[in-house]
Structure 1
Amino acid sequence: MPKAPPETSLPQGCTNLKLRQFMRRMNQHYDLEMAQVGLKTTQFSLLSCVDKLGPLRPGDLAAGLKMDASTLTRNLKPLVEAGWVTVTAGDNARSRLVSLTESGRAKRAEARRHWRVAQDGINRLLGVDQVLALHALIDQSMEKLAPASEDGDE
């Protein structure tokens, strides 16, 4: 009796590995542009989020970035040392607020032009339709993978 053909409708390989490989390649693309202004892509993302949402509590910033608190603290440190971000006392002794400084706003504006070059390059390399489909797939997948506390099912 002949062997049944392998099931080709199932994903082959590890999804996590494929995503990590994809993210490394994507980070390289963006980091080449960000390096021209002395930033990493992750730092630009942090500056952008703080600019858009700040001042805000570190926990809220971490949640918005889907990042744990210790990673956020580690990633904020060089931005604080550069004088682009401040972490100050909040409403009470236990709370803190993360804010962008004027020099942080200027650095973000400078970096945004390079981010645009990187984004336009991705749009050109992958095609706008594929980038839009990728964004939609990521958004749908993030929603399905949300921890119970994010979607109200505690």
Structure 2
Amino acid sequence: MVRTPTNVHPCNNLALRKAARYLGATYDKALAPVGLRGTQFSILQKLSAHGAMTIGSLADMIAMDRTTMAANLKPLAREGLVTVEPSAADRRARIVTLTPDGRSRMKAALPLWRAVQTRFEEKFGADEATQLRASLEAVLDTGFEPWAE
């Protein structure tokens, strides 16, 4: 039996990251047959649902910083799944667009994603999964930024 010292407080960050790594690896494994990782699928899915947008807007939508998003887009662009082009309105902004190949790959991945989503909800509970997603979304709405205080 592993004992936690009584003077150690539970860490929200550790609990969140452990669960994220566990679930992330599960989704990555499920999507591997179509050559996508979970983050890549999420990017393609957002572009499919919302259309072309700036890197910054896409990063905000996924709660990722712009630099990390740009790095995540590079392999997708190399594979021809997205294009990243300067904006006609503002040459500093880069517009990300889902290509036909990207849409096709995302559609091929969708049944694999649905299967792992369904398996998770069967094991964890559909209501609990809904509550988990709502709780995690609520974290984003807290404005919690301890470094800004």
**Normalised by the shorter chain, which TM-score bucket?**
0.7 to 0.9
**Distance apart, 1:136 and its partner CA:** 1.9
CA-atom RMSD, angstroms?
1.8
**Distance apart, 1:137 and its partner CA:** 1.4
Q: Name 2:116's counterpart in structure 1.
A: 118
Of all paired residues, the percent bearing the same amino acid is: 35
SS in 2 for 1:144: coil
**Counterpart amino acid of 1:131?**
A
**Distance apart, 1:146 and its partner CA:** 5.7
Gaps of 5+ in 2: 1-5
SS in 1 for 2:141: helix
Question: Aligned partners of 1:28 and 1:94: how far apart in 2?
Answer: 35
**Cα distance, 1:72–1:30 mapped onto 2, change above 3 Å:** same
> Aligned residues, how many?
139
Determine which of 54, 58, 63 is the counterpart of 1:57.
Answer: 54
Question: Aligned partners of 2:138 and 2:76: how far apart in 1?
Answer: 32
**Cα distance, 1:45–1:146 mapped onto 2, change above 3 Å:** farther
TM-score normalised to the size of structure 1?
Answer: 0.83
**Distance apart, 1:19 and its partner CA:** 0.6
**Distance apart, 1:12 and its partner CA:** 3.7
Q: Deviations over 1:54-75 (max 9, x none)?
A: 2111111111111111100110
Asked whether 1:18 is paired with 2:15, we answer yes
Question: Aligned partners of 1:35 and 1:52: how far apart in 2?
Answer: 22
Q: Name 1:136's counterpart in structure 2.
A: 134
Gaps of 5+ in 1: 1-5, 148-154
SS in 2 for 1:99: strand
SS in 1 for 2:96: strand
Q: Name 2:97's counterpart in structure 1.
A: 99
Q: Name 1:150's counterpart in structure 2.
A: none
TM-score normalised to the size of structure 2?
Answer: 0.86
SS in 2 for 1:26: helix
